[in-house]
Amino acid sequence: MTKKLVSLATAVVAVALLAGCSTGGSGSGATTAAKEDTTQSQSAACKAFESKVKSAAEGLQSEVAKLQSDPQAAVAKLKEFDASLSDGVDAVTNPTVKPKAEAFHTAYADMLTQIEAIAKDPQSADISKFTDTTTKVQEAGNDFQKVCTS
């Protein structure tokens, strides 16, 4: 795997963690569990999402840095984070936050699919396509963050 790809993947995951997972939602009364209705506040939705992904995010950046030396371990950690993102999306019922959380998860899952393929066959790396995908992750993370900090 090329150093450029490893650096890019590490940077994107760092941005994703900062933008998508450390939302710092506004307001009080946030809960860590989603209610099964649409009365979940934006703040509660952001906190519910964050509570599901925060522990999985810890140490993720250092694992991604191992993409070149131990790609299988790094991909396994990225898959764990993907599962946590899915749980986070499931915890959100707020109609404003839910689509942003889903978009972030979809963009991340697309990036993970590409990382898996590249880890299996580094020579097949399409840096341009990967860059486009990472841009989508960053944009989706920024959109999610904007909703959670407004």
138 CB-contact burial (10 Å; exposed 0-12 / middle 13-18 / buried 19+)? middle
Cα dihedral across residues 116, 120, 122, 126: positive or negative: negative
The distance of Cα 119 from the centroid of its chain, to the nearest Å, equals: 19
Q: For the domain with range 3-22+42-149, which CATH number is right: 1.20.120, 2.30.30, 1.25.40, 2.60.40?
A: 1.20.120
49 CB-contact burial (10 Å; exposed 0-12 / middle 13-18 / buried 19+)? buried
Which among 136, 137, 145, 142 is positioned nearest to 46, based on CA atoms? 145
Which among 119, 107, 105, 15 is positioned nearest to 74, based on CA atoms? 119
What is the per-residue pLDDT across 2-20, written as a single tens digit (0 to 9) for each?
555 655 565 566 555 555 4
| pLDDT at residue 74 in the model | 79
Query: Which has the minimum average pLDDT: 49-58, 105-114, 125-134?
Result: 49-58
Residues 6+ apart with CB under 8 A from 73: 63, 66
Band the pLDDT of 29: cuts 50, 70, 90: very low
Q: Give domain limits for the chain.
A: 3-22+42-149
| pLDDT at residue 25 in the model | 44
Q: Which runs of consecutive H residues, i.e. helices, occur in 1-150?
A: 3-16, 42-57, 60-64, 71-90, 97-120, 127-149
CB atoms within 10 A of CB 113: 12
| pLDDT at residue 100 in the model | 94
CB 43, CB 30: distance < 8 Å = yes
What's the one-letter identity of residue 125?
A
